[in-house]
């Protein structure tokens, strides 16, 4: 029953004077896009095919202009998924499913009967599923909490599917989301028997057949060896279906590459644990994703960095140089096929690995060509600095480049590269002297060694450079960065200071909704800071697939409220009976009240954005979000999310970019640059750090070595800070080596603020009100502030009381409180201008 309290923390009434809510524009009808929406959809449409990855192809696609009759199959035809569930779901005004998109583009669908039958199967199975998951609970609240993110596995069925026409497309969807991990069972990671049978039969029976994956992450495709055309469409937000039609018709072409390895489930590493309730041991250390497959010499179906287009490319290394510590290579890429296309070139580094164990290779740079017509070429220059990819040596607490030969490889996938240079380092270089900060995971990381050998002839044919040791200067980290607290902040009362470091709470009766919607100034925004000393509150709204706000809302004297009640984001898992039981909590909206709309543009999910390997596309998406933040008066976007795809089973992987930290950091920086060029629009990178599973996410302890933390799980954050100065960071729910990340002064102050030189604010993930009833305690607001976190979210009376009590008990000093209060105060002041 304790969990029940969580809800009342968020919806308890508490009177306070509110600002006049911002008058949002989208007042007109629901169906008609406004200018900003049309403009944003058009922009995304220009790039979206770049996020799709062609895994297999023959010459059957694109279709010819006269091939307009088409058979459509699969769960993704009518229930096309634009993004995942949970706080990452974004409300766009319009969305066409795949069937509608083909029809509106002039295609005749030959399988309407099949699709109608499938709808019936789905409805029946879904009804059964809801009955089943709710039957264990006697009240809807417990059911919602425990079933958050629960999704039905694709059902088995037997519907006749006689061949009609020459062309068939099967769209296979899988949804996932916050609160629940994916499972290795049929209908989720594995294909159902029905899917295997149907897809193989259709592939044989039709003249032209394409399998399309409308999923946020990998599905085990191993039973589909004979399928010749496979496209990872991914989930592209509002343009998902139109993009598919454009690719099938040849108006566009795929040019994305995988940012996570797709292979049969048995191939994925089982060295570390996943999904344990309390403790998860990251025994694989740095061997995550391709670092594992390449080092353990595992053959995979579709490697990291792999993706085909409709055309073919040939690449040639033009020249390679070492200038100081910067290696650069010029590669020319020629379109040798018959269609237009774009190619991605990737640079990998193999380190000597003599004293420190090293992965076979790591990604150090990438770039994408411009669009190339047949026979046309483009030359890309790829460069990187060796010191940026030094290895962390825990024994000496330093980043080092050990002596030996470093091999640089260039190619269009991690498994299709050629050596383009060698760099010799004569004796060990210490790049940075730090301190170990992250505790002991309780085990030694695994070590792996690939047996692959580079041919001597090849090595002899590429340039070999010797690095001058003097080109890298050892940097010694200090940990005493300070922040100036203004007299204005010092003059505030202790109550005002405490209010600043706790998200605004209990301000309005029946305030908006629960999950990620605790703000009252902008309906459906996830949270806001308190109004102290006439400061404007800082409004925070979720992402990452766009700006998440309530689509319908009304305004009264207490603020802006969603019309769909406090449980809107959670009730999908309830039976009608349970829904009815909580309907009394829905807002009583007086007749005649004006209902306003806030529609935002759903952009591609994080993984899809990264799959474009196109920084410009990420910046353009950031720009769209930044524009909408200005329109709806939101200052902090709770995105980008850049946790690493450690296991394909993590339920929120779709929000994240990759199994590789370099591309994760670069895409984060690119999107941040797009958002933050807007006035008073800033990003919040999340979830810092090692938040790699959803199961028991508030209390789960990730045991990770200092080296793996630094080289894999923190690296993307470090890169993004360096490249784009994000304004805010959200800590994660989980613990790292026994300490909650938000209570870790080492993670927040020492590493983030000092080592990475982060200058912004640090907020917790949405914590308030969770019960302290598990193996690991929940984090407390006073500890978070002591660790130099700035604001405890979403905020509750209990958190506020906790701060004042800690002051009284000398568990928190006034200086510590002022430091965090000042950072929130200063940001609130900044956005006033
Ligand atoms: C999620 C965050 C999200 C926050 C606010 C949490 O449950 O983990 O990613 O930003 O809610 O909605």
pLDDT per residue as tens digits for the range 309-352: 999 999 999 999 999 999 999 999 999 999 999 999 999 999 99
Place of tokens 């410009």: 616
How many Cα atoms within 13 Å fall on the side-chain side of residue 437? 22
548 lines ligand 1 (CB under 6 A): no
The answer for residues whose C-beta is within 8 angstroms of residue 284's C-beta and 6 or more apart is: 269, 271, 272, 292, 445, 446, 708
Q: How many CA atoms lie within 13 A of 503 on its CB side?
A: 27
Q: Please choose from 176, 639, 654, 765 the residue to mutate so as to test ligand 1's pocket, defined by most ligand atoms within 8 A of CB.
A: 765
Both structure tokens of 454: 């580079």
CA distance 331 to 408: 13
Ligand 1 pocket residue status of 206, Cβ below 6 Å: no
**Ligand 1 pocket test: which of 89, 516, 538 has the largest number of ligand atoms within 8 Å of its C-beta?**
516
Å from CA of 41 to ligand 1 middle: 26
Q: How far away, in angstroms, is 432 Cα from ligand 1 center?
A: 34
78 lines ligand 1 (CB under 6 A): no
Q: Pocket of ligand 1, candidates 512, 526, 528: which has the most ligand atoms within 8 Å of its Cβ, to mutate?
A: 526
> What class does CATH assign to 302-476?
mainly beta
Cβ of 686 closer than 6 Å to ligand 1, yes or no, is yes
Under CATH, what is the fold of the domain 53-258?
Answer: Rossmann fold (3.40.50)
Which pLDDT score is estimated for 390?
Answer: 98
Q: Is 377 exposed, middle or buried (0-12, 13-18, 19+ CB in 10 A)?
A: middle
- Spans of the chain, pLDDT less than 70: 1-31, 506-519
Q: Are 120 and 274 in contact (CB under 8 A)?
A: no
| Stretch(es) of the chain classified as CATH 3.20.20.300 | 496-551+603-832
pLDDT of 514: 39
Query: Does the Cβ of 694 fall within 6 Å of ligand 1?
Result: no
- Enter the tokens of residue 300: 């995979």
The answer to whether residues 634 and 626 touch, using CB atoms and an 8 Å cutoff, is no
* Closest CA relative to residue 539, chosen from 531, 529, 548: 529
pTM of the model: 0.95
> Using the 8-state DSSP alphabet, how is residue 697 labeled?
T
Find the 694 Cα to ligand 1 centroid distance in Å.
12
Q: Give how far Cα 538 sits from Cα of 17, 767, 823, Å.
A: 16, 18, 12
Pick the CATH number of 496-551+603-832 from 3.30.499.10, 3.20.20.300, 3.40.190.10, 3.40.50.720: 3.20.20.300
Closest atom of ligand 1 relative to the 548 alpha carbon: 12
* Side-chain-side CA neighbours of residue 675 (13 Å): 32
Atom 6 of ligand 1, nearest CA residue: 766
In contact, 543 and 557? CB cutoff 8 Å: no
Per-residue model confidence (pLDDT) at position 9: 35
Phi then psi dihedrals of residue 354, to 5 deg: -90, -45
**Whether the Cβ atoms of residue 706 and residue 652 lie closer than 8 Å to each other:** no
Output the six-digit token pair for 208: 């032209």
User: How far, in Å, are 120, 344, 606, 705 from residue 293 at the CA level?
Assistant: 42, 21, 23, 20
Residue nearest atom 12 of ligand 1, based on CA coordinates = 516
Ligand 1 atom nearest the C-alpha of 527 is: 5
Length of the chain: 833
Q: How far apart are CA 582 and CA 513, in angstroms?
A: 13
- Does the CA dihedral 167-168-171-172 come out positive or negative? negative
**Rounded CA separation 133/144 (Å):** 10
Q: Whose CA is nearest to atom 8 of ligand 1?
A: 765
Domain with CATH 3.40.50.1700 in the chain: 53-258
Separation in Å, CA 371 to CA 47, 233, 463, 733: 11, 20, 30, 42
Residues of the chain with CATH 2.60.40.10: 302-476
Going by alpha carbons, the residue nearest to atom 5 of ligand 1 is 516
């Amino acid at each position: 029953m304790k969990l029940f309290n969580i809800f009342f923390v968020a919806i308890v009434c508490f009177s306070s004077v509110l600002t006049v809510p911002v008058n949002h524009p989208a007042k007109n009808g629901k169906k008609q896009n406004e200018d900003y929406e049309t403009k944003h959809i058009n922009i995304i449409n220009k790039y979206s095919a770049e996020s799709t990855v062609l895994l297999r192809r023959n010459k059957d696609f694109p279709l010819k202009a006269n091939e307009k009759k088409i058979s459509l199959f699969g769960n993704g035809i009518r229930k096309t998924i634009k993004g995942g569930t949970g706080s990452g779901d974004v409300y766009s005004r319009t969305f066409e499913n795949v069937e509608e998109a083909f029809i509106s583009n002039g295609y005749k669908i030959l399988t309407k009967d099949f699709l109608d039958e499938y709808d019936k199967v789905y409805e029946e199975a879904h009804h059964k599923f809801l009955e089943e998951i709710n039957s264990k609970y006697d009240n809807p609240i417990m059911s919602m909490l425990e079933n958050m993110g629960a999704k039905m596995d694709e059902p088995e069925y037997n519907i006749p599917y006689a061949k009609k026409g020459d062309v068939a497309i099967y769209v296979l969807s899988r949804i996932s989301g916050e609160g629940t991990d994916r499972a290795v069972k049929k209908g989720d990671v594995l294909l159902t028997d029905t899917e295997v049978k149907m897809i193989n039969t259709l592939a044989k029976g039709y003249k032209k057949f394409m399998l399309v994956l409308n999923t946020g992450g990998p599905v085990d495709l191993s039973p589909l060896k004979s399928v010749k055309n496979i496209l990872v469409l991914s989930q592209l937000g509002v343009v998902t279906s139109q993009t598919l039609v454009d690719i099938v018709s040849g108006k566009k072409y795929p040019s994305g590459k995988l940012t996570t390895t797709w292979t049969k489930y048995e191939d994925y590493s089982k060295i570390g644990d996943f999904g344990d309730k309390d403790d998860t041991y990251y025994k694989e250390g740095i061997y995550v994703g391709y670092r594992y497959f390449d080092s353990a010499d595992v053959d995979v179906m579709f490697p990291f960095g792999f993706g085909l287009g409709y055309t073919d490319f040939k690449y040639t290394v033009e020249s390679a140089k070492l200038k100081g510590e910067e290696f650069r290579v010029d590669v020319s890429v020629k379109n040798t096929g018959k269609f237009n296309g774009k190619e991605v070139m990737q640079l990998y580094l193999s380190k000597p690995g003599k004293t420190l164990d090293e992965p076979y290779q790591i990604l150090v740079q990438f770039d994408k060509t411009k669009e190339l017509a047949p026979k046309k070429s483009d030359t890309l220059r790829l460069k990187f600095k060796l010191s940026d990819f030094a290895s962390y040596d825990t024994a000496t607490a330093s980043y080092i480049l050990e002596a030996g030969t470093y091999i640089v490889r260039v190619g269009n996938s991690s498994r299709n590269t050629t050596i383009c240079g060698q760099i010799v380092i004569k004796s060990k270089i210490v790049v940075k002297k730090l301190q170990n900060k992250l505790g002991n995971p309780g085990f030694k990381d695994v070590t792996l060694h690939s047996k692959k050998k580079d041919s001597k002839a090849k090595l002899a044919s590429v340039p070999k450079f010797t690095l001058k040791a003097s080109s890298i200067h050892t940097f010694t980290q200090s940990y005493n960065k300070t922040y100036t607290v203004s007299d204005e902040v010092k003059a505030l009362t202790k109550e005002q200071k405490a209010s600043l470091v706790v998200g605004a709470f209990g301000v309005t009766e029946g305030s908006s909704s629960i999950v990620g919607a605790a703000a009252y100034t902008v309906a459906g925004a996830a949270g806001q800071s308190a109004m102290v000393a006439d400061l404007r509150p800082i409004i925070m709204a979720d992402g990452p697939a766009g700006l998440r706000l309530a689509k319908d809302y009304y305004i009264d004297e207490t603020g802006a409220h969603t019309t769909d009640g406090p449980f809107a984001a959670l009730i999908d898992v309830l039976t009608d009976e349970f829904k009815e039981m909580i309907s009394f909590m829905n807002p009583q909206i007086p007749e005649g009240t004006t209902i306003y709309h806030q529609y935002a543009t759903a952009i591609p999910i994080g993984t899809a954005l990264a799959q474009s390997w196109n920084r410009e596309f990420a910046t353009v998406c950031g720009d769209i979000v930044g524009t909408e933040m200005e329109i709806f008066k939101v200052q902090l976007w709770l995105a980008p999310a850049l946790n690493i795809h450690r296991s394909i089973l993590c339920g929120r992987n779709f929000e994240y970019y990759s199994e590789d930290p370099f591309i994760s950091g670069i895409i984060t920086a690119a999107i941040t640059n797009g958002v933050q060029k807007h006035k008073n629009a800033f990003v919040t990178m999340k979830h810092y750090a090692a938040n790699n599973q959803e199961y028991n996410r508030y209390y789960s302890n990730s045991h990770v070595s200092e080296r793996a933390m630094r080289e894999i799980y923190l690296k993307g954050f470090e890169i993004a800070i360096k490249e784009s100065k994000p304004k805010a960071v959200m800590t994660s729910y989980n613990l790292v080596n026994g300490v909650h990340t938000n209570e870790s002064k080492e993670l927040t102050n020492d590493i983030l603020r000092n080592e990475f030189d982060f200058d912004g604010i640090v907020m917790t993930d949405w914590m308030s009100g969770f019960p302290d009833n598990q193996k690991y305690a929940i984090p407390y607001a006073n500890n978070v502030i002591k660790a130099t976190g700035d604001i405890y979210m979403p905020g509750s009376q209990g958190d506020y009381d906790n701060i004042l009590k800690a002051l009284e008990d000398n568990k928190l000093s006034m200086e510590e409180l002022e430091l965090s209060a000042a950072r929130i105060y200063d940001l609130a002041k900044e956005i006033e201008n």
